[in-house]
Amino acid sequence: MNYAETVLWLFDQLPMFQRVGASAFKKDLTNTLKLMALLQEPQRQFKSVHIAGTNGKGTTAHTLAAIFTTAGYKTGLYISPHYKDFRERIKIDGQYISEGEVVDFVAKYQQDFISIQPSFFEMTVAMAFDHFARHKVDIAIIETGMGGRFDSTNVIIPKLSIITNIGYDHTQFLGDTLPLIAFEKAGIIKPKVPVVIGETQPETQPVFNQAAKDRNSPISYADQHYRVVRTDRAIGGMTVNVLKDGIPYLENLQTDLYGNYQLKNLATVFGAVEQLQVQGYNIDEVILRKSLSNIKEISTFMGRAQVLQRDPLVLVDSGHNEAGFKEIFGLIAELAFPGLHIVIGTVNDKDLTKMLPLLPKGATYYFCRPDIPRGRDAEELRIESVKYDLRGQSYPSVQDAYKAALSAALVSELVFVGGSVFVVAEVI
């Protein structure tokens, strides 16, 4: 098989949660452990940082990867899902795994996969870990897919665990209360391995404290020590001041991250960096300034408050749950454009009753269905949105909706595209 055929085989033969939903979700590490044994335990052959959380995992992972790469470490990065190309999931120093390596890996182990019957995610994790081990990375930044306790990535013993925050997402799998969700995320906390929690939340703090105590793991809360303050109103990047325990730590720091919600993620990153510095990693102020100003290029980061064009301004964001909507539409309200056009689509297992009330009522909406099996019907989304006084038309595809929004928008107005990673993927 060539690369295109190989990727189609991966998508078609093995269940993929992002495409088909619940049927691909497993609360079991058995298959992952079988794959690790088949590959001669690659997860034991590289050092790692493990990241879980409801929102902010991707930003935190890409930012840490950019920092390590800038510091001269050969840095692996595993993330999910991807936008355009399967290979986005597996990178070393910002470079995607090659098409040839994907083809060779699947060809070599295809019969084993047929025998073991792993999920798409389990197989992809195995490919990533094998890639990092063979290329002898100095450190790998590993983002969980969903949850933590039974996530396929949770076979590593990292140098540091990070849990960004806890919100309501995937409640049908992880639980319908914040403490239950936190319990699943806390599954990545390993015995005697430090853990950084990004945000202090009264409902989840006891869960994390107990898990860390049970495993004798040093625990710290980034937001109790670090505060990141935005000092400008530019679009597409920020200048910030960083305070540590109330004292200036880094001033006039430039970053190509954008949006007030990224301030929380940056605080998490600084909390993680402090723990990594204690472990001997060479990360100084020069490295921090250089890497944080160019995260998107260094680690190939996309899809979060990303500016696609200006006049009219087109902004895309892959936030896809209640907390993600609060953050991105808070940013849009702050921008206060005279006209707002929103291209939006979701997948069919999201709770619209929590998400739709957060959308601005004065906007013109372009409802669409992402091109995946679990995409929500555009007309169904439009009908549900009317209940919240959100008005617009439904379109047969994301591209049709996007073209209609661009055609209708004046140069002084804003076009926003979001609601799902899979909607954003079709326009970037």
Q: Do the Cβ atoms of 160 and 194 come closer than 8 Å? A: yes
Q: What are 36's two structure tokens?
A: 């690790």
Q: Give the pLDDT score at 95.
A: 98
Q: Give the pLDDT score at 172.
A: 57
Angle at 126 between CA 165 and CA 12, to 5 degrees: 95
Assign 3-class secondary structure to 73-123.
CCEEEECCCCCCCHHHHEEECCEECCHHHHHHHHHHHHHHHHHHCCCHHHH
Q: Give the pLDDT score at 24.
A: 46
pTM to 2 decimal places: 0.92
Q: What are 14's two structure tokens?
A: 């093995």
Residues in the chain: 428
The CATH code of the domain at 306-425 is 3.90.190.20
Tell me the per-residue pLDDT of 203-235, one tens digit each, with 9 for 90 and over. 999 999 999 999 999 999 999 999 999 999 788
Tell me the per-residue pLDDT of 266-294, one tens digit each, with 9 for 90 and over. 999 999 999 999 999 999 999 999 999 99
Give the domain ranges of the chain.
Answer: 3-299, 306-425
Range 96-120 average pLDDT: 95
Tell me the per-residue pLDDT of 80-100, one tens digit each, with 9 for 90 and over. 989 999 999 999 999 999 999
Terminal alpha carbon distance of the chain: 28
Comparing C-alpha atoms, which of 181, 179, 124, 171 is closest to residue 148?
181
Range 102-121 average pLDDT: 93
> Cα separation of 65 and 49, whole Å?
10
Using a 10 angstrom Cβ sphere, with 0-12 exposed, 13-18 middle and 19 or more buried, the burial of residue 299 is buried
- pLDDT above 90 (res 36): yes
Q: Give the pLDDT score at 18.
A: 46
The CATH code of the domain at 3-299 is 3.40.1190.10
Tell me the per-residue pLDDT of 152-182, one tens digit each, with 9 for 90 and over. 999 999 999 999 999 876 555 566 799 999 9
